[in-house]
Structure 1
């Protein structure tokens, strides 16, 4: 796990180039945390955040039907469309702006394919451990407009669905933002909370530490987060117990 045991404020950078990599031809993936055949004892999880995979899927390809259980799985599409089908009867195409969460609970099977036959798709797959095992499986999908994320933090995921966010079975929140150059934002953590920032594109200063495209950062023992875009930037912010 990422070291969060010290009591001094920490912004611990996970460089994009240092992530695990997998190239299966049809799938190119970068793993922030240990996943499948990639293992790094320093990066197994952060709090309840278990997986952040940045996946690129070739046109006409995808993940065939496979099972999950006792996991909250979030998909955030960056480019293209992701075609989803599952054993609960859901079928949809997830596009940029959409946020999908699948609560695997007691067990679910699903498939994910690139909706395009020609173009590569690009998305983040995020796994968070639920607050209890054996939940009933569930599915949600909501669209969040570019305007709702422009120069502000937009809540996408929360335990109680506030502000129209999708619901997660964990004490966790997920925000997204798209900042113009030089725009500043501030975020206040409650006591004993932790954060993770995942860069999608651009360059962002986080309490003076600069993150670039694909970088991540663990935030510990920090109350105030000062964010400033050094160029047009898109990122996710996790608020974790």
Structure 2
């Protein structure tokens, strides 16, 4: 089974400095059909005006991932971390027992475009922590960037999920097989692809269960893929 979540069907919110698309229910947007997908709770696609951002605010008991598409994201938190995340990097914050952080567009001139992703952790009240990596950009394959078990070039996610990125070139075709009791969510960040002969455009997502996956790249593309437990 494959269900395509079209970009224009997502929730939408707009302020003078922030434009957001919500794949799943979030804040003032609620859709009972799209609360979450397994342990994947939030995929927000945010565009932030220069110099603006999210003031310091609290989180707890959530794995919070930031993936920058364009621009630069400035992060500061209550456990002493301060950094700037750019395209080609990945950040994850384990909120655990409680953490405060702020996120701002680091630039005074350019837009910031990024995905914020929340994953429900396997345990509550973990010790808050922060990780940031540079992604190993290998073309035309699924590159593991986050998992439950630490590996070179990945961040630890405190849940049974493998997070991949793929940078695909035009006319390439690649496959992926989900194991038993697994399901997948694909989020197209850039480009245009066919997923088992169904066309996906920028911002589209796809829920995948009990299917072998074939991707055909129509235009140079970038995507995230979540391999999740079905339990």
Match of 1:3 in 2: none
Shift of 1:145: 4.0
Q: CA deviation at 1:133?
A: 0.3
Map of 1:227 onto structure 2:
215
* Matching residue of 1:155: 144
**Paired residues of 2:178 and 2:210 also in contact (CA < 8 A):** no
Cα distance, 1:164 vs. partner?
A: 2.2
Superimposed CA distance per residue, residues 175-229 of structure 1 (whole angstroms, 9 cap, x where no aligned partner): 011111110111111101000000011111111111110000000122x211110
| Structure 1 unaligned residues grouped into runs of 5+ | 1-9
Q: Please, which moves more after superposition, 44-53 or 163-172?
A: 163-172
Say whether 1:91 aligns with 2:86: no
Contact 2:136–2:143 (CA under 8 A) maintained in structure 1: no
Q: Does 1:218 align with 2:218?
A: no
Q: Give the deviation of 1:24 after TM superposition.
A: 0.6
> Partner of 2:177 in structure 1?
188
Separation of aligned partners in 2, 1:189 and 1:220: 8
- Which residue of the partner structure matches residue 2 of structure 2? 11
1:4: which partner in 2? Answer: none
CA contact (8 A) 2:134 2:153 kept: no
SS in 1 for 2:20: strand
Residue 164 of structure 1: SS of its match in structure 2?
coil
The reply to whether residue 137 of structure 1 matches residue 128 of structure 2 is: yes
SS in 1 for 2:8: helix
Could you list the structure 1 runs, at least 4 aligned residues long, displaced by more than 2 angstroms after superposition: none
Q: Secondary structure at the match of 2:165?
A: strand
Residue matched to 2:62: 71
TM-score normalised by length of structure 2: 0.97
Root-mean-square deviation over aligned CA pairs = 0.8
TM-score with structure 1 setting the length:
0.93
Equivalence map 1:27-66=2 (5 Å): 27-66=18-57
**What is the distance in 1 between the residues matched to 2:191 and 2:122?**
33
Unaligned runs of 5+ in 2: none
- Counterpart Cα distance in 1 of 2:166 and 2:213: 14
Note if 1:102 corresponds to 2:93: yes
